[in-house]
Amino acid sequence: MDVATYKEDIWGREVILGASWDLLWLVVVSAFVVIALHAVILAVRRRAARPSSAGPRVPRHSAVDRIFHWIMAVTVIVLLITGVFPIIGLEFSWLTIHWIAGLVLTASVVFHIVRSLFWQDLKAMWISARDLKEPFDATLKPGKYSVAQKSMHAAVTVLVLLVIGSGLVMFAMIDTPWWERSNSIAESTLGWVFLIHGLSTLALIALIALHIYFGLRPEKLFYTRSMIKGWISKEELEANHDPERWAPGKSS
């Protein structure tokens, strides 16, 4: 199975056409397998009592961050549906929805970047050497974000930036209310753009599958709640986090 598809360009030269969508199989299947394995392992492993969500609460996600997360969630899903379904045979008029959703995503990401650069604590997301020991040492508890969450965030950041970057180039190739398409980019260049867009999309699909899976796992469900309601219980905090490294209220 090729990673990219090729074609003969106008000059009779082989150039990249884009990502090979047969990879979609691989991605979906492997994501499923990983999830299944993880589920099984945790099922056999004896689990500790789950902390109660009752009692005093501490803030975890500010409203702004929650809104951003859900806008991003929705646009990404819309983009995946409008982008991928036509390719796998469900044809409908997708282009306009796709680029509008793309613009919304771009705008919200830009907002998030600016906000996190100037008004938020970048270190909160920084993966330190200590974080890497976390999974192997039960005594070590994470700060606001576990290393898994940080890695997920890092991966999503990279992929979303790639997909947005390549998407914007493609955006220049279509007619919009603001401009007539240029259509003057070389085919060989375009091929790479489509390849990047396609591959990062495929990776995002896998990542999002995992993200949703973990978001729905019973012992992690309170994080999802916190992304909706904004708070976690003191008990959940103490069970999963190191108060030394994350004291809710002080930093957002």
Considering only the stretches 37-45, 146-154, 178-186, 200-208, report the one whose residues sit in contact with other proteins under the rule CB under 8 A. Answer: 178-186
Determine the Cα–Cα distance for residues 56 and 247; give it in Å rounded to an integer: 14
From 56-64, 131-139, 148-156, 170-178, give the range in contact with other proteins by CB under 8 A: 170-178
Indicate whether 17 belongs to the interface with other proteins (CB under 8 A).
Answer: yes
CB 213 within 8 A of CB 207: no
- In 3D space, the residue among 29, 1, 6 whose CA is nearest the CA of residue 17 turns out to be 6
**Cα gap 213→198, rounded to integer Å:** 23
CA atoms within 13 A on the CB side of 235: 9
- Which helix (H) or strand (E) segment is 8 a member of? strand 4-8
Type of residue at 34: V
- Site membership for other proteins, residue 216 (CB under 8 A): no
DSSP 231: E
Q: Residue 8 forms beta bridges with which residues?
A: 14
Q: State which residue, 82 or 146, has the beta carbon closest to other proteins.
A: 82
The verdict on 3 binding other proteins (CB under 8 A) reads no
Given a contact cutoff of 8 angstroms between Cβ atoms, the answer to whether 232 and 144 are in contact is: no
- Residue 9's contacts (CB-CB under 8 Å, 6 or more residues apart) are 15, 187, 188
* Per-residue binding letters, 109-148, with other proteins (x by CB under 8 A): ----------------------------------------
Residue of 41, 43, 49, 91 that binds other proteins (CB under 8 A): 91
Residues in the interface with other proteins (CB under 8 A) total 38
Indicate whether 181 belongs to the interface with other proteins (CB under 8 A).
yes
Q: Which stretch binds other proteins (CB under 8 A): 112-120, 147-155, 182-190, 219-227?
A: 182-190
Binding of other proteins by 176 (CB under 8 A): no
Q: Is residue 7 within the footprint of other proteins (CB under 8 A)?
A: yes
One of 93, 178, 244, 249 touching other proteins (CB under 8 A): 93
CA-to-CA distance for 116 and 46, rounded, in angstroms?
A: 39
Out of 2, 12, 43, 218, the residue judged to bind other proteins by CB under 8 A: 12
- Contact set with other proteins (CB under 8 A): 7-13, 17-18, 21-22, 24-25, 28-29, 32, 86-95, 173-175, 181-185, 187, 190-191, 194
